[in-house]
Amino acid sequence: QLQLQESGPGLVKPSETLSLTCTVSDDSITTGNYCWAWIRQPPGKGLEWIANMCYTGTTYYNPSLKSRVTISADTSKRQFSLMLTSVTAADSAVYYCARRTAYTSRRDFWGQGTLVTVSS
Amino acid sequence: QSALTQPASVSGSPGQSITISCTGTSSDIGGTNYVSWYQQYPGKAPKLMIFDVTNRPSGVSNRFSGSKSGNTASLTISGLQGEDEADYYCNSYTSHGSWVFGGGTKVTVL
């Protein structure tokens, strides 16, 4: 069974950069037709799609975050990452990584989520 | 991009059927079959319940079904059970290559 695990600091200061990594338990990040996404959920609020990178290397970003977000992958480590610059308290959220089968909406594997708080 | 519109809450008695709507535009729901639904319990990651409008992953109860008409997608839960009490989110691909979620619906079993 595929597992995804988010990692990164739980506390980030305002104006700094949030960096998270998602580690994938199998080779699907290199061998399959998948897209890898970051999704976040502020406490008590709904889900927000941030970005994804597909097996082709193509990246897509939420237009409202595009100027601050970068998604990248290190397939040799079976990892993909998120960088969000110039964070504010509004970026405090549980951040999830997830896998979607390309050319479908089948996003069937998610990490457990990691809480990131932006505070000085 | 604006979030898809879902009712904040829907309730029903055990055994009843309920339907959750998800309204978007021709740039998202109306223009794609890449619409999915997720169930989320407090403190847990979302779980895929429906993908590509009507498809159910293996292991998901056949009490859950999806449909779409125009710019509105719907999730129907039949034979409502206590374990169905959770938050539900719709998600759609957009014409810009991005994805957008609905605001979420809290389902209460009376």
What pLDDT digit, counting tens, does each position of B61-89 carry? 999 999 999 999 999 999 999 999 999 99
A107 → chain B, closest CA residue = B48
* pLDDT for the residue A58: 93
Q: Please, are residues B37 and B89 in contact by the beta-carbon 8 Å criterion?
A: yes
pLDDT the model gives residue B91:
98
Nearest CB to B98 within list A46, A49, A112: A49
Residue A120 near residue A12, CB atoms below 8 Å? no
Give the whole-angstrom CA distance, residue A34 versus residue A40.
20
Residue B21: is its pLDDT beyond 90?
A: yes
Neighbours of B19 (CB within 10 A): 14
Please state, in angstroms and rounded to a whole number, the distance separating the CA atoms of residues B93 and A85.
25
Burial label for A119, CB within 10 Å (0-12, 13-18, 19+), is: exposed
B56 or A26: which leads in pLDDT: B56
pLDDT band of residue B1 (cuts 50, 70, 90) is confident
Asked if the Cβ–Cβ distance from B57 to A37 is below 8 Å, we say: no
What type of residue sits at position A20? L
H/E segment holding residue A105: none
Size of interface A-B (CB pairs under 8 A): 65
The per-residue pLDDT for A31 is: 83
One digit per residue, pLDDT tens: chain A, 120 residues? Answer: 899 999 999 999 999 999 999 999 988 888 879 999 999 999 999 999 999 999 998 999 999 999 999 999 998 999 999 999 999 999 999 999 999 999 999 999 999 999 999 999
Q: Are A116 and A8 in contact (CB under 8 A)?
A: yes
Cα distance between residue B33 and residue B100, in whole Å: 14
For residue B60, what is the nearest residue in chain A, using CA coordinates?
A108
pLDDT of residue A27: 84
Q: Which long-range contacts (CB under 8 A, 24 or more apart) does A4-8 make?
A: A4/A97, A4/A98, A4/A99, A4/A109, A4/A110, A4/A111, A5/A111, A5/A112, A6/A95, A6/A96, A6/A97, A6/A111, A6/A112, A6/A113, A6/A114, A7/A114, A8/A95, A8/A114, A8/A116
In chain B, residues with a C-beta closer than 8 Å to the C-beta of A107 are 36, 48, 51, 91
Say if residues A55 and A102 touch (Cβ distance below 8 Å).
Answer: yes
Between chains, do A105 and B97 touch, taking CB under 8 Å as contact?
Answer: no
Neighbours of B47 (CB within 10 A): 16
Length of chain A: 120
Identify from B94, B99, B105 which residue to disrupt to test chain A contact, counting A C-beta atoms within 10 A and taking the largest count.
B99
- pLDDT reported for residue B101: 98
